[in-house]
Chains A and B, each alone.
Chain A
Amino acid sequence: MSDPAVAVLLADEPARPMPRLDTKKLGVVALRTVSILLFFAIWAGFSFANARYLKFFNPILMPSPLDVLRTGIELTKSGELQSDILASLSRVLQGFVIAAFLGVSLGMAVGRSPFLESLLDPMLELLRPIPPLAFLPMMVLWFGIGEASKIAFIAYAAFFPIFTTTLEGIKYVDPLLLRAAASLGANRRDMFRYVVLPAAMPGIITGLRLGFGLSFFVIVAAEFIAADSGLGYLINDARTFFLVSQMLLGAAVIGLIGFTFNRLLRILEARLLRWRKTAWN
């Protein structure tokens, strides 16, 4: 994350021991594992039954988890999968970083200034309900078929949740805490750095997580329309040749990457917001 405020917070707090795993947690983990295994069993069972007895579809249209895995191994050997993952990830990260920077800084500026809010908010409210996808063809015309159009598109889509949660976080700081800080001698800068910013941090982090999820959500669409690499391209390309297991592979990899990053962001969140979690332990 590029946000300097996060770095400040990380540096400011002394280390505390992390909570340990307990048996109750282990039980939950076991159940979650069963849930995932069950999903694959149903999928494999359906695919097998379709191929042998039901014949709903041509078996090639209903591959089993194993077929998908086999495709994955093939595409990894040829290096195609890695380069597609890299292409998508780099677009998502670049777009997300731009969105995070613009969303957080604009959210802060607007949250501190009622003038800016009245000026910018109606404009953004006008744009917000329009699905970002509607602007994709236009962005391709503007930024060309290269990387820029996809990055711009991701940045645009991820901007809104980040901006909104930052703005709300900054605006709705408990006035009592501001009074407390003022009577302890805080000036406006101190107040922002030591009160407003940490108070808004939970909202900002939620926004970043939502924004990141959205980045993944829209990358596939962007790569459908205008790309010759990336996981979206991998899926769309497979359509031409009825390679359903390649399509499913693309989807699965996107799911895995999204899941991994969400976990990482959650871990970061738990670290930054320790003061909130301690009450439940």
Chain B
Amino acid sequence: MDQMATITRTKIRIEGVSKTFDNGLTALARVNLELAENSFTCLLGPSGCGKSTLLGMIAGFVQPTTGRVLVDGTEVTSAGADRGVVFQEYALFPWRTALENVEFGPLVRRLPRAERRRVAMEHLEMVGLKGHETKFPTELSGGMKQRVAIARALANNPSVLLMDEPFGALDAQTREILQEEMLRIWQQDRKTVVFVTHSISESLFLADRVVVMATKPGCIKAIIDVDLPHPRDRTDPEFIRLERQVKQMVREEVDKLGVI
């Protein structure tokens, strides 16, 4: 594999990052993490452990209280087109059709009209939405909306793709299909992916590395390298062993919260 040479280059570096909100709540405490270029990392942890906060810092939506986040060696201070984001709530522009949503990035990058149409069509096709170009978000199902959101992020060709529980609101079948397509897209067109999820199975199915987070305050509890080849089989004994191991860790964190 010739990727081995590049896989060691650090793409995202999180250095001693903490976040205390105005209300005094410490969401993250001294988080250090290095993410290699072209890697697929899942952030896993119970609700409230600061996954979205950490992702928002890489995206540039949230500023750390201490420490810093570096992407390609440059400190992140604001959002930018080099870091595409896919939100759990889709965040599509309701007044734009599927195609016009995907065109948004090319539009604000001032690509010529024909070129941005072509790019948008290509990406809609990639996520399997050919024939739905002129539909408005209100006319699309949840799964279709999330496909549009993924196509919209990818149409900008960002080097980092940040996804916050993108499949959380979908039914189990749609979710598995989109996971497989996500992998296909990622393998085709490698990007550094940071993927937030609650689902252990999802994280082990997708990621090279699973970052298990601890709560109160949010920090990194363990990092698990998943060396299984793709496509992964959820019934494989090694997969099941890892699943059990991670479940145990997450369980400890949930118990710590004491709300069940």
Contacts and interface: CB of A to CB of B under 8 A. Distances in A.
Given A182-B79, A185-B80, A194-B107, A177 B138 contact: no
A278 B136 contact: yes
A186 B156 CA distance: 12
A275 interface: yes
Contact of A276 (B61, B81, B138, B162): B138
B109 A274 contact: no
Nearest to B79: A182
Interface in A167-185: 174, 176-177, 179-185
Contacts, number: 82
B104 A181 contact: yes
Given A182-B79, A185-B108, A177 B95 contact: no
A52 interface: no
Contacts of B139: 278-279
A251 interface: no
B164 to A, nearest CB: 11
Nearest to A176: B91
Contacts of B107: 190, 194
B105 A185 contact: yes
Contact of A279 (B79, B134, B138): B138
Interface residues of B, number: 32
Interface string B81-109: 10111010101111110000000110111
A191 B15 CA distance: 31
Nearest to A179: B61
Interface string A268-280: 0000011110110
A198 interface: yes
Contacts of B83: 183
A177 B79 contact: no
Given A176-B87, A278-B139, A198 B95 contact: yes
Contact of A274 (B81, B136, B152): B136
A152 interface: no
B60 interface: yes
A278 B105 contact: no
A235 B162 CA distance: 67
Given A182-B78, A183-B80, A184-B81, A276 B94 contact: yes
A118 B89 CA distance: 33
A77 interface: no
A195 interface: yes
23 contacts: A16-B134, A176-B89, A176-B91, A179-B91, A181-B108, A182-B60, A182-B61, A182-B80, A183-B61, A183-B80, A183-B83, A183-B84, A184-B152, A184-B153, A184-B156, A186-B104, A187-B108, A194-B104, A194-B107, A273-B95, A275-B136, A278-B138, A278-B139
Given A177-B93, A180-B85, A185-B108, 7 more contacts: A181-B108, A185-B81, A194-B93, A195-B93, A275-B95, A275-B136, A275-B138
User: Which 7 A-B residue pairs are closest in the complex by CB-CB distance?
Assistant: A185-B81, A182-B79, A279-B138, A180-B91, A183-B85, A184-B105, A183-B79
